[in-house]
A and B are shown apart, each in its own frame.
Chain A
Amino acid sequence: MPSNDVTKLGKDILSILEKFGELELQDVSLEADELVLKMAAGLAAMAPRALAPGVIPTAVKPFQLLEEKFKPPIQEYPGQIVEVQFGQTRAEGGTRKQIRKIGGEKVPPFYRFEYDNPNRPLVTFDVFDTRMPLPKPIKDHFDEVMDDPAEWAKKSLKEYGADLVTVHLVSTDPYIKNTPAKQAAKTIEDVLQAIDTPLLIGGSGNPEKDPEVLEAAAAAAQNERLMLNSASDNLDWKRIVEAAKKYNHNVLSWTQLDVNNQKKMNQLLLDAGLPKDHIVQDATTAALGYGLQYSFSIFERIRMSALKGEKDLQMPLSSGTTNAWGAREAYMSDKKKGSEWGTINFRGPLWEATTGLSLALNGCDIFMMLHPASVKIFKTVVEYLTSKKKDKPSPLLNWVTTKV
């Protein structure tokens, strides 16, 4: 049957359908074999309800290799993240033997098919200036140094591979020990003496006391270019910014899970005269299971806007990954939850590492962490994601026959 006849038949059937809504195919005499290909293409699509399944055999197409090339989807980014330096050497007016840098990205995190971003994400260990009630898996590692911040910092750096440390001056809180600001500043001096790397300075979170404490600590560490944590809208951040400018430090611009608020806080710091490369932003880390998705998306939005050219968001990002230890899945004892959740020795560190890595994949640059095992796996993954060296790959399809 010539093809135009088939088309005509198709049209006829269509007009019949339009008239009667139904078609009794047995009234039409067709040589199905002859029709196969053309009907499959024309008729079947036009009158799907009229033809019972199987009446028209499908075309059997040959299996032939159609060579394709995958074209990496490269994009252009008009914006770039600023690079922030922690620590200054003697030549720069400080006393640090080692400095650290974050930021400088030109493409989204680990998009190496586009470009190799310059600095890998860093881990800063949390150190407290007084004995804190910490979850058991962490206490087990640090118990003997928990009364000595300098020793605690040294241990974190030497034994557990921290890139730097954050000394949290929690004892200054009037409700904890009300340690005077001057004495807290002395703690910072002690830790600086004990280590070669820069450190970050955390307050106690008490909005009345923190500005005074951070100011005193900034003065005691003049020209070391540390970071003051943090400037937020619930305290006198101007005082902190002035201290950072006067004594040459970076400032952490901290807001709670809101891109616009983060942008506003950054603008305030910039307007107050703090150079852009002296600001790191922290949009708050909600732990896995406790709102991680908000942090995940907010960090991603901040980084993508920055790369698209939003100048007030082009600072590196910081995460208080330690918040993961506030999750019950991380801290609840095996006695209570082990039969359902498995042992805390693994689930605690997994919680912290998963929280951190989720944000690393969305652009976060520096991670405050607590547990040596979470830090180790975190740093391994970062190494695997950024190294220019390459291990020999496994014959991957062999997993199917691997008898484990």
Chain B
Amino acid sequence: MAFVYLLINHEAEIEACKPILEPKYKQNYEKLKEILTPPVRTVKFGEGEHTKIIGGKEVMRRHELTWFNPTVLAIDVHDEMDEKELTQRVDLITHWGTFYIGQTLMLDAIAIKCVSGNPNKFANTVKAVIKNTNWPLILCSLDPACLKAGIKAAAGKKPLLYAATKDNWKEVGEIARSEKLPVIVAAPGDLDQLKTLAKSLHEAGVEELALDPGTFWGEGLLSDTVNSFTMLRRAAIETDDKTVGWPLIGVPATIWIGKEGVSEGERLATAFQETILSAVLTARYADLLIIHSTELWTFLPLVILKNNLYADPRVHPAVKSEVMAIGTPDQNSPVMVTTNFALTAYTVKSDLEQAKINAWLIVMDTGGIGVESSAAGGQFNASKVAESLQEFNIGDKVAHRALIIPGMGARFKGEIEDLSGWDVYVGPRDSGGIGDFLKEKYRAVTGLKYVGDPGKDSPVVLTSNNVKSFYEVKKPLLDAKASAWLVVVDTEGLDIASAVKEKKLDAAAVKKVMDEGGANEQVSKKELIIPPAAESLKASIESATKWKVKVVAPDKLAK
């Protein structure tokens, strides 16, 4: 059964089952082979670990099963680029990547165009590219002599050929057949011709084909293109037309015809349009795209779009609900909450790791829905957050009661505080900003604050807006269910000792907080408790506030 599952998922080939190759099973083998051959056949090019598989589609719509073999993104180079330009371009194409949900997304292949019409020149360019990379290649020329020269230069690389057309199909077909190479059939805007050529080539023994029905851009023309792709795919899959059951090739690079030497503005506008055209074809069945633009913003949406659309819809997007220890967190490390949507959880984790932050990350069960949608849809709510704090015993892991929630969940702050007894700090909307947030904004609220329900005789305790200093005082009081007033001074996030040393905490600042909070009116017992770290300020605070100052270590406070 396991093997059958692999077969259905195109993760194994039937030939891997040796016994079935025995002659007595011939009939069964052929039957299975036919059943397992997808309505859009697979075509392979490139060699070794860089082999690319295109096609292999079983369904029109990804929700009906999944789309196998993500669209291959090939970028063009040509044989009239000088060596330096060529090397730089190949370097950019083969090295660009972007990190996304635990993997680096990259481009896939290089299309080498023969612009010169000169077989030697083309062969030299192919050699120069191969010297720089072992990426899969598409050799592009309508001249069989050039293709031949290119193939010779790329011996053993199994390049994909572009293209067999109505004018050269016999010669190019001969080459593809004798060299056992896959070939793209191009018949722009003429599906009868495309089908005729595909059938003729296949019948003559060319074993691997792909179809380019023409990528037009313009009024009414884009419509023809999208309709051609749609019709070809539907014919192959839903009406079982085997003659068109081949991978579909889009060439958004056609948008550059006649754009040699255009202004910078027009160049960028064309790159913008080419990217959109590529995106449209990625969503409408293209198995491989040949693209010209190499602005980085042209790559980014396409690698992510193809990743998204080719994600297997049968796989649930949720990750396990748990507490992740990011780095080496301890009892003073921040506690954060996010959703168990795989993308969110991975993104937050990787952002924290990249910023070298030690933290406790609660991955809360929102049914695999991201923060924005789950906050709107109710899966992310205050009681769920409070329950998660309990469920994972976060209170035992840390010596504070500070919870950082995503910026998109800001409106739950009050309710979470009421339900959990934790203080909620609203983090950034994007986890990429957590590093800055921790440095600049993760502070206790300053002013005259309180724990429990203090009255006129309750103790008054000094602390700073440094999270560690603040909870050194607040947490023992909370645990003892004691009531007290807290004088929280803005020390720009420094703990008491450092603040005293750096002169960010002095008697005037203490007096200001007490005055603004109305300490003299609220409290009759004029005594301020300060930590040992601030003992040097005792006399100056006494003289500034006219209150008595008593030094008590935070861990003795509760008594």
Residues of A near any B CB (own CB < 8 A)? 14, 17-18, 45-49, 58-73, 75, 110-113, 175, 205, 234, 256-257, 284, 286, 288-294, 296-297, 300-301, 304, 323, 326, 328-329, 332, 336, 340-343, 346-347, 349-351, 353-354, 357-358, 361-362, 377, 380-381, 383-404
B26 contacts which chain A residues (CB < 8 A)?
A: 45-46
With both chains docked as a complex, state the minimum distance between the C-beta of A327 and any C-beta of chain B, in angstroms.
Answer: 9
Majority secondary structure of chain B interface residues (helix, strand, loop or mixed): helix
B257 touches A396 (CB 8 A): yes
With both chains docked as a complex, state the minimum distance between the C-beta of A314 and any C-beta of chain B, in angstroms.
Answer: 19
With both chains docked as a complex, state the minimum distance between the C-beta of A352 and any C-beta of chain B, in angstroms.
Answer: 10
Cβ of B162 under 8 Å from chain A: yes
A323 to B375, CA, bound (A): 14
Contact flag A400-B141 (CB < 8 Å), given A61-B204, A69-B195, A289-B304: yes
Contact flag A66-B304 (CB < 8 Å), given A402-B257, A403-B80, A404-B259: no
Contact flag A63-B304 (CB < 8 Å), given A346-B295, A397-B186: no
A399 contacts which chain B residues (CB < 8 A)?
A: 113, 251, 253-254, 256-257
B187-220 contacts to A, CB under 8 A, are 188-189, 191-192, 194-196, 199-201, 203-205, 214-220
B192 touches A350 (CB 8 A): no
A288 contacts which chain B residues (CB < 8 A)?
A: 301, 304-305, 308
With both chains docked as a complex, state the minimum distance between the C-beta of A378 and any C-beta of chain B, in angstroms.
Answer: 9
A61 to B178, CA, bound (A): 12
A388 to B219, CA, bound (A): 8
Contact flag A234-B377 (CB < 8 Å), given A68-B199, A175-B411, A401-B115: yes
A73 contacts which chain B residues (CB < 8 A)?
A: 231, 234-235, 238-239, 241
Between B186, B188, B215, B222, the greatest number of chain A beta carbons within 10 A of the residue's beta carbon is seen for B222
Q: List 14 A-B contacts (CB under 8 A).
A: A70-B195, A234-B377, A256-B377, A288-B305, A293-B308, A296-B62, A297-B62, A328-B432, A350-B276, A390-B220, A396-B215, A397-B186, A400-B115, A402-B113
Query: Which listed residue, B162, B219, B253, B309, touches A384 by the CB 8 Å rule?
Result: B219
B243 touches A58 (CB 8 A): no
With both chains docked as a complex, state the minimum distance between the C-beta of A340 and any C-beta of chain B, in angstroms.
Answer: 6
B345-404 contacts to A, CB under 8 A, are 369-370, 372-373, 376-378
A63 to B175, CA, bound (A): 12
In the complex, identify which listed stretch (B267-275, B515-523, B539-547) lies at the interface while the others stay far away. B267-275
B3-49 contacts to A, CB under 8 A, are 21, 23-24, 26
B432 touches A332 (CB 8 A): yes
With both chains docked as a complex, state the minimum distance between the C-beta of B110 and any C-beta of chain A, in angstroms.
Answer: 15
In the complex, identify which listed stretch (B278-286, B325-333, B551-559) lies at the interface while the others stay far away. B278-286
With both chains docked as a complex, state the minimum distance between the C-beta of A362 and any C-beta of chain B, in angstroms.
Answer: 8
A185 to B305, CA, bound (A): 40
Cβ of B117 under 8 Å from chain A: yes
B204 contacts which chain A residues (CB < 8 A)?
A: 61-64
A384 touches B215 (CB 8 A): no
A288 to B275, CA, bound (A): 14
Contact flag A70-B220 (CB < 8 Å), given A289-B100, A347-B301, A397-B163: no
With both chains docked as a complex, state the minimum distance between the C-beta of A40 and any C-beta of chain B, in angstroms.
Answer: 11
Residues of B near any A CB (own CB < 8 A)? 21, 23-24, 26, 61-63, 78, 80, 98, 100, 113-115, 117, 140-142, 162-163, 165, 169-170, 173-174, 186, 188-189, 191-192, 194-196, 199-201, 203-205, 214-223, 226-227, 230-231, 234-235, 238-239, 241, 243-244, 251, 253-254, 256-260, 268, 271-273, 275-276, 279-280, 283-284, 292, 295-301, 304-305, 308-309, 311, 313, 317, 341, 343, 369-370, 372-373, 376-378, 411, 429-430, 432
A62 contacts which chain B residues (CB < 8 A)?
A: 204
Contact flag A388-B173 (CB < 8 Å), given A286-B370, A354-B276: no
B192 touches A70 (CB 8 A): yes
B429 contacts which chain A residues (CB < 8 A)?
A: 326
Residue of B nearest to A259 (CB): B63
B273 contacts which chain A residues (CB < 8 A)?
A: 377, 380
Contact flag A301-B63 (CB < 8 Å), given A357-B276, A399-B254: yes
A351 touches B301 (CB 8 A): yes
With both chains docked as a complex, state the minimum distance between the C-beta of B115 and any C-beta of chain A, in angstroms.
Answer: 5
A342 touches B297 (CB 8 A): yes
A387 touches B295 (CB 8 A): no
B313 touches A297 (CB 8 A): yes
A205 contacts which chain B residues (CB < 8 A)?
A: 376
Contact flag A361-B284 (CB < 8 Å), given A70-B235, A394-B257, A399-B254: yes
B62 touches A63 (CB 8 A): no
B430 contacts which chain A residues (CB < 8 A)?
A: 328, 332
B276 contacts which chain A residues (CB < 8 A)?
A: 350, 353-354, 357, 377, 381
A397 touches B142 (CB 8 A): yes
A304 to B234, CA, bound (A): 14
A256 to B376, CA, bound (A): 9
A396 touches B216 (CB 8 A): yes
A284 to B223, CA, bound (A): 27
A393 touches B221 (CB 8 A): yes
Contact flag A68-B196 (CB < 8 Å), given A17-B23, A300-B61, A304-B61: yes
A401 to B162, CA, bound (A): 12
A293 contacts which chain B residues (CB < 8 A)?
A: 62, 308-309, 311, 313
With both chains docked as a complex, state the minimum distance between the C-beta of B540 and any C-beta of chain A, in angstroms.
Answer: 41
B343 touches A290 (CB 8 A): yes
A326 to B372, CA, bound (A): 9
A113 to B232, CA, bound (A): 12
A111 touches B280 (CB 8 A): no
A297 contacts which chain B residues (CB < 8 A)?
A: 61-63, 313
A60 to B177, CA, bound (A): 10
With both chains docked as a complex, state the minimum distance between the C-beta of A202 and any C-beta of chain B, in angstroms.
Answer: 13
B23 touches A391 (CB 8 A): no
A18 to B201, CA, bound (A): 37
A256 contacts which chain B residues (CB < 8 A)?
A: 369, 373, 376-377
A45 to B23, CA, bound (A): 9
A359 to B135, CA, bound (A): 33
A396 contacts which chain B residues (CB < 8 A)?
A: 188-189, 214-216, 251, 254, 257
Contact flag A58-B23 (CB < 8 Å), given A342-B297, A396-B254, A400-B142: no
Query: Which listed residue, A58, A257, A402, touches B260 by the CB 8 Å rule?
Result: A402
Residue of A nearest to B162 (CB): A400
B300 touches A329 (CB 8 A): yes
Contact flag A386-B223 (CB < 8 Å), given A257-B369, A394-B254, A404-B292: yes
A256 to B378, CA, bound (A): 10
B189 touches A393 (CB 8 A): yes
Between A296, A358, A395, A396, the greatest number of chain B beta carbons within 10 A of the residue's beta carbon is seen for A396
B258 contacts which chain A residues (CB < 8 A)?
A: 394, 402
With both chains docked as a complex, state the minimum distance between the C-beta of B142 and any C-beta of chain A, in angstroms.
Answer: 6
With both chains docked as a complex, state the minimum distance between the C-beta of B268 and any C-beta of chain A, in angstroms.
Answer: 7
With both chains docked as a complex, state the minimum distance between the C-beta of A105 and any C-beta of chain B, in angstroms.
Answer: 15
With both chains docked as a complex, state the minimum distance between the C-beta of A172 and any C-beta of chain B, in angstroms.
Answer: 14
A380 to B163, CA, bound (A): 30
Contact flag A358-B283 (CB < 8 Å), given A297-B61, A300-B63: yes
Residue of A nearest to B167 (CB): A397
B297 touches A341 (CB 8 A): yes
A388 to B223, CA, bound (A): 10
A51 to B504, CA, bound (A): 89
A391 to B234, CA, bound (A): 26
With both chains docked as a complex, state the minimum distance between the C-beta of B45 and any C-beta of chain A, in angstroms.
Answer: 18
A350 touches B373 (CB 8 A): no
A143 to B265, CA, bound (A): 24
